[in-house]
Amino acid sequence: MEALVKKYANKLFSAGLAEGTGPLSPIVGGLDDTLVWNRTGPEIKVLEQVFQNLNINSLVFLRPKAPYEPIIRYLAQKALDTHGLIEPKDCETRTFLHDLPVIGRFSADKIVAALKKRKSVIIAVPADEPEFSGIAVIAHGTVSPEQGFVVASSVCFACFVKFFADYLEDLQLGRANKESNDLFDGLLPDIFLGQPGLPDLAKGPFSTEEQLYAAIVQAGRKTVEYGLVDSYFGNISYCHNHILYISQTGSSLDELEGCIDPVRLDGSSSAALTASSELTAHIQTIAQTGCRAILHGHPKFSVILSMACDPAEKAACRHRDHCHTRCPQKRAIGRVPIVPGEVGTGPTGLCNTLPPAFGTSNHAIVYGHGVFTLGMNDFSQAFATLLEVETACRKTYCDKVRQLRSHLS
Amino acid sequence: MHINLTTRNLCVETPDRDFYGKYMGGKGMGGYYLRQCAALSFDHPDMVVCLFTGPLVATIAPTSGRAHLVSKSPLTGLVGDASLGGRLPTQLKRAGWDGMVITGKSPYPIGIEIADHQVNFSRADHLWGMDTQQVHEHLAPGKAGLASIGPAAENGVRFASVTVDLHHAAGRSGLGLCFAAKHLKYLMVKGQGHTRVKDANGLKAAREEIFRLTAASPALMGQYGFSRLGTGAVYDLIDSRRMMPTDNFKSTWFKHAPRLNAAAYSKAYAPEKYGCRGCHILCKRIARPKGLHPMALPEYETMSHFTALIGSRDIKWVVAANDRCRRYGMDTITAAATLACRREITGKNFTRQSLLSLLDDMALNRGEGKELNKGALAYARSMGHPESAMAVKAMELPAYDPRGAYGMALGYALSTRGGCHLRAYPISHEIFRKPVATDRFSFSGKARIIKIAEDFNAVVDSLTACKFIFFAAGLEEYAKAYTAVTGEKSSAQDLISIGERIYYNERIINSLNGFDARDDDLPRRFFNEPGTCGNQIQVAPIDRGQFLTAREKYYRIRGLDSSGNPLEEKANALGLEWKRL
């Protein structure tokens, strides 16, 4: 347990979600018969009471750093002014978290009450409070500190996506205010950086399992390093000799060693029962396109823009509450098609909606979810496309905002 | 509903809200009534046989068409219980009953027939001796739910099961023999009412969340998931992880497995999907062989134990053995494990004929079957080789070798019904990676994980829902459904707290029957012999010191003394009566 609490505290830092040291660095606790923490801190007294009042085995206390901190502070304050919930519309939140409760005090009873119902709670305390002030995300687990890490990371991702998606819509509707404008302006230097150079990925086609496993692990790690995915999300596959090698469900793209399932495409074995929930979409895409490599990430601005819609059209649309499954429009960002679809299988699953999009493109965005890109021989092309799509989406977003604000001013 | 089969007296109890809040339904309520007669033998007339639905039954909550059967296990002397599906639970609830507590003993074979609030007793002398298929054909229940026993229970098989709606079973613990001890041949229920739901929109919202999570689950709805291939989908996975019990747990990999997997059954039988009422996963597979009745194909445990564990290499043997057990009303896991024990002790391999003959002998209590039908431990002792019984507290282990998953090792040892994988169900995280993956070759953190999971699953069996859905959804979503149905405010953590009470109650019942830390253990083989290494996986013997340390931690976390006995203070804190009967 000691190793796990340290590992996930470090991952919160390396994922860019928190400081690595000091009083704002993450606190992660793990409980078997005794409680262990990755570090000491004044917050632990309250967090211990949380442990005492819940049937859990782990707890993550995250002080998010910029750009997440100001975004969550902004959204949390709005939530506290209304019904105490942040309600992002991205796929991960909709599927796994549902909504994000916010409380205005760092007290064990309030935290316990929130965590009894949900996997996380956001704490937003005004700066003038003596005991505790600022923003924190607390998430728990019943099996491993990894759960708290995943959830806290998802909360940050969801809030990021929500702020930028809402801001664009607010500008379109003429209801953006000084506070949101100022926040956006303050975030610009951190967010809108130039496109980094491409990594030197292994060249295919790969002829041995050893080569292709190494290539998958390398591409997964680079996807995380380039910020094209939060460290937990996404999936990746490579097809060779009628076997699809795909990342396992819930595997972390930067830790894929030992987490790749070989799937026999003739259906003669079900050993890949633990393969990614997008296995069917990968198989069908490969069958349709003849590609060998598929890379799926959750780059933020691709997700944000995929949810952008003309407010007037949306207001008139009878599917406006089910955009993620029933959007009737053929939509695209530039030449990148956007398709609806939920995680996994089912009638509205992206296993049904995604493969047709590859009839005209070697990349596609799933509404509020992420980007899928293809490579004919290796991951170089897929990676480059993923980066290009995200860079283009970021630029498009920025241009839209600039245009709307100049129009308004 | 309380039924005394000696007096034919029937009385209706209407518990107060506190009782529902405290014990929920299903397993929780069954455990409450079992506690009142905990020290009696399974065949004492005052021993209860309880069948309870849960609050979600007969609503649109996914996978909630289940009930829990509870009594004293004839096989183990522990709490004996089993979750059962089919349509019976829904019918019982629709008839207006949350559950029934059966006591007494009829002087002759009898059947209970319930149609809404009308309860009739029918003589069943003419059905005694019939197998469960014949009973079903004779009674022709139509849309009614039907639970019946077969010749195995009538002939005293310690692991006799109750067959429900032809293709389902309350399989483990020998609950069929509890029916037989009361001369109860069958229970048939038809109901026309509905479960009242306080907040229909809230329930619908919870259901949508659960559906969305299910669709995202590879294990349930994926390309190779239960919905596509049945529970047999697990066969290849467990073999690839080098934890398939082979040759009576002497090794953990079966080289013939690739020809005996779910794909092989699909090819040979082209089965149809089938499932319990109210379930969209449909994990059962029904074959329709020419000239034969439709039959359920074997579940994963049966597939594995009737091949790798006993050394057979033909799926037709497995299908025949499975069908024979179903007709006789015998638990397939215990039957196969006992035969594997016999094979190890005698050195005799099976032929198709000898395998099926021995199943006949067990069920009909003749020849060698007279010893085999008491289970592996009793058989091995009678043969002078108790070490060959791969059982915990006299219940034979299912098809996950504990050397390949240490949470499973701890879960087996500590389970309140003996060698059971379902109490803590650690393959969820150790193999299926849900909610996240844990290190399967480590005891680190496992003591608390097992305790929380036991509480979790106790409440799942009380709601009553199917455990499979929790590879995808969580109590967060089911608490929402529970609140919507009952109007009682609740949360995931509130439900787990109820589960803790239910589980601790079972620990008290077992303690009253003399079980303690000496029984919370695994067969020596797992500490002394390695499994089968390969595929870059090392399967070492379990370190006994680490196992015992984890068990000690569990006792502390669970609130037991160092001998595994319940504590009065903890019982009081949970609102449970202390040990006095």
**Cβ contact, residue pair A274, B491, below 8 Å:** no
Q: Residue A290 domain-assigned?
A: yes
Question: Rounded to an integer, what distance in angstroms lies between the CA atom of residue A125 and that of residue A107?
Answer: 11
| β-sheet bridge partners, residue A136 | A123
Please tell me if residue A32 touches chain B, with a CB cutoff of 8 Å: yes
CA-based nearest residue in chain B for residue A149: B436
The SS3 assignment for B15 reads coil
Please tell me if residue B140 touches chain A, with a CB cutoff of 8 Å: no
Q: What percent of chain B has pLDDT over 70?
A: 100
d(CA A402, nearest CA chain B) in Å: 37
d(CA A263, nearest CA chain B) in Å: 10
If asked whether residues A173 and A250 sit together in one domain, one would say no
- The confidence score (pLDDT) of residue B536 equals 83
Q: Of the candidates B261, B436, B445, which has its C-beta nearest A270's C-beta?
A: B261
CA-based nearest residue in chain A for residue B260: A269
User: Residue B341 is encoded by which pair of tokens?
Assistant: 């024990």
The SS3 assignment for B282 reads coil
User: Residue B205 is encoded by which pair of tokens?
Assistant: 């919202």
- The confidence score (pLDDT) of residue B547 equals 98
- The confidence score (pLDDT) of residue A231 equals 56
CA-based nearest residue in chain B for residue A271: B237
Q: Give start and end residues of each alpha helix (H) in B347-419.
A: 352-364, 369-372, 376-382, 406-414
Q: What is the pLDDT of residues B192-243, one digit of tens each?
A: 999 999 999 999 999 999 999 999 898 999 889 999 999 999 999 999 999 9
Q: Which helix (H) or strand (E) element contains residue B81?
A: strand B79-84
Interface confidence, given as ipTM, is: 0.91
| β-sheet bridge partners, residue B287 | B295
pLDDT of B384 above 90: yes
Q: What is the pLDDT of residues A271-307, one digit of tens each?
A: 889 999 899 999 999 999 999 999 999 999 999 999 9
pLDDT of B580 above 70: no
Q: Kindly report each contact of residues A147-150 with a partner whose C-beta sits within 8 Å and lies 24 or more positions away, as own/partner.
A: A147/A58, A147/A119, A147/B435, A147/B436, A148/A8, A148/A28, A148/A58, A148/A59, A148/A60, A149/A8, A149/A11, A149/A12, A149/A28, A149/A60, A149/A232, A150/A232, A150/B436
Q: Which helix (H) or strand (E) element contains residue B80?
A: strand B79-84
CB A294 within 8 Å of CB A357: no
Q: Tell me which of A11, A34, A143 to substitute to probe the interface with B (most B C-beta atoms closer than 10 Å).
A: A143
If asked whether residues A146 and A265 sit together in one domain, one would say no
Residues of A in contact with B444 (CB under 8 A): 1, 3-4, 32
If asked whether residues A164 and A213 sit together in one domain, one would say no
- The confidence score (pLDDT) of residue A346 equals 77
If asked whether residues A272 and A345 sit together in one domain, one would say yes
pLDDT of B581 above 60: no
Q: In the predicted model, what is the mean pLDDT of residues B367-388? A: 98
Tell me which residue range forms the domain holding A285.
209-406
**Cβ contact, residue pair B493, A346, below 8 Å:** no
Task: Indicate the pairing of strand A363-366 with strand A336-339.
Answer: parallel
Q: What is the pLDDT of residues A178-200, one digit of tens each?
A: 999 999 999 988 777 667 789 99
Q: What percent of chain B has pLDDT over 90?
A: 96
Sheet holding B99-103: strands in order across? B9-11, B2-4, B99-103, B49-53, B67-72, B79-84
CB A231 within 8 Å of CB A15: yes
Question: Rounded to an integer, what distance in angstroms lies between the CA atom of residue B217 and that of residue A250?
Answer: 10
Interface list for A 79-118 with B (CB within 8 A): 94-96, 98, 115-118
pLDDT of B395 above 90: yes
Q: Tell me which of B236, B436, B477, B562 to substitute to probe the interface with A (most A C-beta atoms closer than 10 Å).
A: B436
If asked whether residues A53 and A174 sit together in one domain, one would say yes
CA atoms within 13 A on the CB side of A250: 25
Question: Rounded to an integer, what distance in angstroms lies between the CA atom of residue A195 and that of residue B185?
Answer: 75
Q: What is the pLDDT of residues A135-148, one digit of tens each?
A: 999 999 999 999 99
Q: Determine the residue type at A223.
A: T
Q: Of the candidates B209, B216, B553, which has its C-beta nearest A344's C-beta?
A: B216
Q: How many residues does chain A have?
A: 409
CB B340 within 8 Å of CB B309: yes
Q: Residue A294 domain-assigned?
A: yes
Q: What is the pLDDT of residues A59-117, one digit of tens each?
A: 999 999 999 999 999 999 999 999 999 999 888 888 888 899 999 999 999 999 999 99
Mean pLDDT of all residues belonging to chain A: 92
Q: What is the pLDDT of residues B324-333, one digit of tens each?
A: 999 999 999 9
- The confidence score (pLDDT) of residue B137 equals 96
Count of the separate structural domains present in chain A: 2
- The confidence score (pLDDT) of residue A322 equals 84
Task: Indicate the pairing of strand A336-339 with strand B49-53.
Answer: unpaired
Please tell me if residue B282 touches chain A, with a CB cutoff of 8 Å: no
CA-based nearest residue in chain B for residue A268: B263
- Between B204 and B577, the more confident residue is B204
CB B490 within 8 Å of CB B483: yes
CA-based nearest residue in chain B for residue A346: B215
If asked whether residues A152 and A266 sit together in one domain, one would say no
**Cβ contact, residue pair A57, B455, below 8 Å:** no
CA-based nearest residue in chain A for residue B263: A268
User: Residue B378 is encoded by which pair of tokens?
Assistant: 């009793």
Interface list for B 199-258 with A (CB within 8 A): 209, 211-219, 221-225, 229, 232-237, 239-240, 258
If asked whether residues A172 and A246 sit together in one domain, one would say no
- The confidence score (pLDDT) of residue A240 equals 96
d(CA B378, nearest CA chain A) in Å: 36
Domain ranges of chain B: 2-190
Interface list for A 278-307 with B (CB within 8 A): 279-280, 283
Proportion of chain B in helix, strand, coil states, percent, rounded to 5: 45, 15, 45
Residues of A in contact with B494 (CB under 8 A): 116
Q: What is the pLDDT of residues B438-449, one digit of tens each?
A: 999 999 999 999
**Cβ contact, residue pair A270, B237, below 8 Å:** yes
Question: Rounded to an integer, what distance in angstroms lies between the CA atom of residue A295 and that of residue B272?
Answer: 35
d(CA B308, nearest CA chain A) in Å: 16
Cα angle B393-B398-B404, degrees, rounded to a multiple of 5: 100
User: A117: domain CATH number?
Assistant: 3.40.225.10
If asked whether residues A314 and A222 sit together in one domain, one would say yes
- Between A353 and B198, the more confident residue is B198
**Cβ contact, residue pair A345, B221, below 8 Å:** yes
Q: Residue A193 domain-assigned?
A: no
The SS3 assignment for B57 reads coil
Residues 6+ apart with CB under 8 A from B423: B411, B414, B415, B416, B417, B453, B454, B457
**Cβ contact, residue pair A344, B222, below 8 Å:** yes
**List of E strands, B335-463:** 391-392, 395-396
Q: What band does B375 get if pLDDT is binned at 50, 70 and 90?
A: very high
The SS3 assignment for B246 reads strand
User: Residue B102 is encoded by which pair of tokens?
Assistant: 């059966």
- The confidence score (pLDDT) of residue B37 equals 96
If asked whether residues A135 and A217 sit together in one domain, one would say no
Q: What is the pLDDT of residues A30-56, one digit of tens each?
A: 999 999 999 999 999 999 999 999 999
- The confidence score (pLDDT) of residue A189 equals 85
| β-sheet bridge partners, residue A141 | A58
User: Residue B316 is encoded by which pair of tokens?
Assistant: 């037709």
d(CA A283, nearest CA chain B) in Å: 9
Q: In the predicted model, what is the mean pLDDT of residues A342-355? A: 85
**Cβ contact, residue pair B435, A141, below 8 Å:** yes
CA-based nearest residue in chain B for residue A98: B209
Q: Residue A204 domain-assigned?
A: no
Q: What is the CATH number of domain B2-190?
A: 3.60.9.10
CA atoms within 13 A on the CB side of B566: 28
Mean pLDDT of all residues belonging to chain B: 96
User: Residue B482 is encoded by which pair of tokens?
Assistant: 């529970």
If asked whether residues A174 and A235 sit together in one domain, one would say no
Please tell me if residue B433 touches chain A, with a CB cutoff of 8 Å: yes
**List of E strands, B116-208:** 118-123, 145-148, 162-164, 168-170, 184-190
Q: Of the candidates B211, B237, B455, which has its C-beta nearest A273's C-beta?
A: B237
If asked whether residues A157 and A251 sit together in one domain, one would say no
Of B92, A95, A273, B109, which is closest to residue B101 (Cα–Cα)?
Answer: B92
If asked whether residues A256 and A359 sit together in one domain, one would say yes
**Cβ contact, residue pair B436, A33, below 8 Å:** no
